[in-house]
């Protein structure tokens, strides 16, 4: 899978330019909805942010994360107390790449 096709690739995250273009494209006088977006993806994510990035239904994702947290031998990145009980996103992505795409893909995306 090319980086451009990967929904988790940093290239696919919103930028300030995209947000500004979206604002300019709105019709004058139209009711504006203010949304708070991170312009840059964060490194440390909550489980809710992790699930949003994965694009999996919440109920299924929370159950899977619970299993991965219990089974430490699987090597899934654990929450770090130092970082407000968040997980390091690059490690989570690398773990999924290694598990589902094999070692070559994990080396390419790190």
Q: How is residue 9 written in tokens?
A: 């690739």
The pTM is what?
0.57
Which position has the higher pLDDT, 74 or 24? 74
Which position has the higher pLDDT, 31 or 89? 89
100 pLDDT band (50/70/90 cuts)? confident
pLDDT for 2: 56
Among residues 68, 71, 52, 66, the alpha carbon closest in space to that of 7 is found at 52
pLDDT for 4: 58
Count how many Cα atoms sit within 13 Å of the Cα of residue 12 in the half-sphere of its side chain.
Answer: 9
Tell me the average pLDDT across 39-45. Answer: 81
Give the separation between CA 77 and CA 53, rounded to whole angstroms: 15
């Amino acid at each position: 899978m090319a980086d451009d096709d990967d929904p988790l690739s940093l290239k696919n995250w919103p930028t300030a330019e995209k947000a500004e273009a979206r604002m300019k494209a709105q019709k004058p006088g139209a009711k504006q909805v203010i949304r708070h977006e991170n312009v840059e993806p964060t490194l440390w994510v909550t489980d809710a942010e992790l699930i949003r990035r994965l694009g999996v239904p919440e109920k299924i994702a929370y159950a899977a994360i619970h299993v991965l947290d219990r089974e430490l031998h699987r090597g899934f990145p654990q929450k770090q107390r130092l970082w407000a009980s968040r997980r390091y996103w690059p490690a989570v992505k690398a773990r999924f790449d290694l598990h589902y795409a094999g070692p070559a893909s994990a080396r390419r995306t790190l």
